[in-house]
Amino acid sequence: MPDTTLLLLADGRFPAGGHAHSGGLEAAVTAGRVRDLDGLAGFLRGRLATAGLVSAAFAAAACRGDDLGRLEAELDARTPSPALRKASRAQGRALLRTGRALWTLSTVERELHHPVALGVVAAAAGLTPAEAALTAAYGTVTGPASAAVRLLGLDPYATHALVARLAADCDSVAARATTMDDLPACSAPLLDIGAEAHATWEVRLFAS
Amino acid sequence: MKATARITAVAEAGRTRLVTLRSEPPLLVRRTGHRGPAAGPLARGSAAGAGEVEVHLVGGAAGPLGGDRLRVEVTVGPGARLCVRTVAASLALPGPRRAERAGTHSTLDVHATVAAGGSLRWLPEPLIAARGCDHVSSSLVDLESDASLTWREEVVCGRHGEDPGDASLHSTVRLAGRTLMRQELAVGPRAAGWAGAAVLGGGRATGTLLVVDPQWTEKPPEAAVLGPGAALMPLAGGPAALASAVGGDLREVRAALDRAFTQATLA
């Protein structure tokens, strides 16, 4: 198993633009729904159980070689928010660009939803669907967690302790994502609604 | 209890006729109204279509209770127009043998098909997830191209001052065989983070209203923010928009969905 390659792809320093997105946390903070570490914990748990599971399942399916057009259409159907569709494709585009500079991708597509792009890049890097799922699940937690330090001025140690406490949940979400018969569609209404509000702001710290 | 209700509407000589109206306790179906051809502010779509017929599902018993297996099958034929409502909220409650959890959850399966030129408005009252319930609602809607749909789903987390049990609502809407929308909302103790700021953020009620309108093929409604907990969102896969709302109570959610409907259909 290429362990170092997994770490490389999951690393927040992987140059695919992930740091520009807060995973909906900026909208939640501005709406007053997340104010402190407890609020962040609830946000991360809910995001992992919904968007995290969906992303992990789609990343695993794309890594396994499922039809990309079908995955794109199914993920569109699970993403009612146009702002989230746009953010997902922007992140997917950045990831494909980076992936192409490192490995040989199986597709010539320039723009895919982020979880689908992640599966494609993971496969090109020699990773398994389970590893693609784990990378996706982990990313749904670490993105907003690092944004929280900037948005709320939270203690980075406490924030990382929270991520560490979610490690087992992340593992189990990734494991479920790899073994499900059907692609999941777990909804998070406030992520959709928040993303639409966020897209209307003129000044913001994060792209989504 | 295991029960299936069946409703089939067809268009005949400019009118919508109910050719099947099958009730089985506790799912009782009653015809409650008939509009003239495409009348009224909410009777939208093809003005040439038949008048709309309205039916109500009347709860013949409390529930759904753990163990119940309920099914509703709705068929709308070419050009027919049907509206289905319920007379009251459904109250999901634990079953009589709560100690034996396995197999004691309740289910409501709805399968609807709408043929070309047909219209279905599914406007039930909300599901209230009472403490200790374990309920799964699954809806599958198959639309032929050129069919219209208005589909509302609302859930209230617990009765007044009560924590909810487990409830999940799965909905899949396919248009001409392709998935247009798929959602799975889970609330309750087994749904990680459901009360957190990514999902309901402490809101006790949530709902969605999906409108599919063939007249939007050229130009779907624009995305709109409708207050702090509601948005109207054009879907990617067809002439459709989904309004989604989260609020402190059902009244707030219903008002937001109504506002979204007006905004979408007046555009």
Q: Tell me the pLDDT band of B59, cut-offs 50, 70 and 90.
A: confident
| Chain pair A-B, CB pairs under 8 angstroms | 137
Instruction: Look at the block and give the residue holding tokens 């939270």.
Output: A154
Mean pLDDT across chain B: 91
Report how many domains make up chain A.
1
Phi, psi angles (nearest 5°) of residue B44: -105, -175
Q: Would residue A82 count as lying in a domain? A: yes
Of B199, B231, B236, the CB nearest to A188: B199
**Token digits of residue A14:** 């992987």
B198 CB near a chain A CB, below 8 Å? yes
Tell me the residue range of the domain where A85 lies. Answer: 26-180
Q: What is the pLDDT at residue B100?
A: 55
CA distance to B121, B181, B213, B242, per residue, from B177 (Å): 20, 12, 16, 19
Q: Would residue A43 count as lying in a domain? A: yes
Q: What is the pLDDT at residue B97?
A: 64
Q: Looking at beta carbons, which residues of chain A come within 8 Å of B224?
A: 196
CATH number at residue A103: 1.10.4190.10
Q: What is the pLDDT at residue B95?
A: 82
Q: What is the pLDDT at residue B46?
A: 43
Q: Looking at beta carbons, which residues of chain A come within 8 Å of B233?
A: 80-82, 192, 196
CB B134 within 8 A of CB B106: yes
Find which of A26, A111, A187, A200 to mutate to test the B interface (most B CBs within 10 Å of its CB).
Answer: A187
Beta strand ranges found along B77-219 (DSSP E): 81-86, 90-92, 106-114, 119-123, 127-129, 134-143, 148-157, 166-175, 178-187, 205-212
Q: Looking at beta carbons, which residues of chain B come within 8 Å of A51?
A: 198
Is the complex ipTM more than 0.90? yes
Are B234 and A82 a contacting pair at CB < 8 A? yes
Q: List, for residues B72-114, the tens digit of each pLDDT value.
A: 999 999 999 999 999 999 999 998 765 555 568 999 999 999 9
Q: Tell me the pLDDT band of B69, cut-offs 50, 70 and 90.
A: very high
**Residue A118 CA from chain centroid, whole number:** 9
Residue B45 has pLDDT above 50, yes or no: no
Q: List, for residues B92-101, the tens digit of each pLDDT value.
A: 999 876 555 5
Q: Looking at beta carbons, which residues of chain A come within 8 Å of B238?
A: none
Are B244 and A80 a contacting pair at CB < 8 A? yes
- Kindly report each contact of residues B173-178 with a partner whose C-beta sits within 8 Å and lies 24 or more positions away, as own/partner: B173/B141, B173/B143, B173/B149, B173/B210, B173/B212, B173/B240, B174/B140, B174/B141, B174/B142, B174/B143, B175/B143, B175/B145, B175/B147, B175/B212, B175/B237, B175/B238, B175/B240, B176/B143, B176/B144, B176/B145, B177/B142, B178/A73, B178/B237, B178/B238
Q: What is the pLDDT at residue B96?
A: 77
B188 CB near a chain A CB, below 8 Å? no
Q: List, for residues B135-186, the tens digit of each pLDDT value.
A: 999 999 999 999 999 999 999 999 999 999 999 999 999 999 999 999 999 9
Q: What is the pLDDT at residue B74?
A: 98
Q: What is the pLDDT at residue A1?
A: 56
Q: Looking at beta carbons, which residues of chain B come within 8 Å of A200?
A: 225
Q: List, for residues B9-22, the tens digit of each pLDDT value.
A: 999 988 999 999 99
Chain A residues touching chain B at CB-CB below 8 Å: 24, 28, 31, 33-34, 39, 41-51, 73-74, 76-83, 85, 169, 184-193, 196-197, 199-200
| Every domain of chain B and the residues it spans | 2-198
Residues of chain A short of pLDDT 70, as ranges, are 1-2
Q: What is the pLDDT at residue B50?
A: 79
Q: What is the pLDDT at residue B38?
A: 47
End-to-end CA distance of chain A: 34
Residues 6+ apart with CB under 8 A from B1: B25, B26, B61, B63, B65, B67, B68, B69, B70
Q: Looking at beta carbons, which residues of chain B come within 8 Å of A46?
A: 192-199
Q: Tell me the pLDDT band of B47, cut-offs 50, 70 and 90.
A: very low
Nearest CA in chain B to A33: B197
Residue B41 has pLDDT above 60, yes or no: no
Q: Would residue A139 count as lying in a domain? A: yes
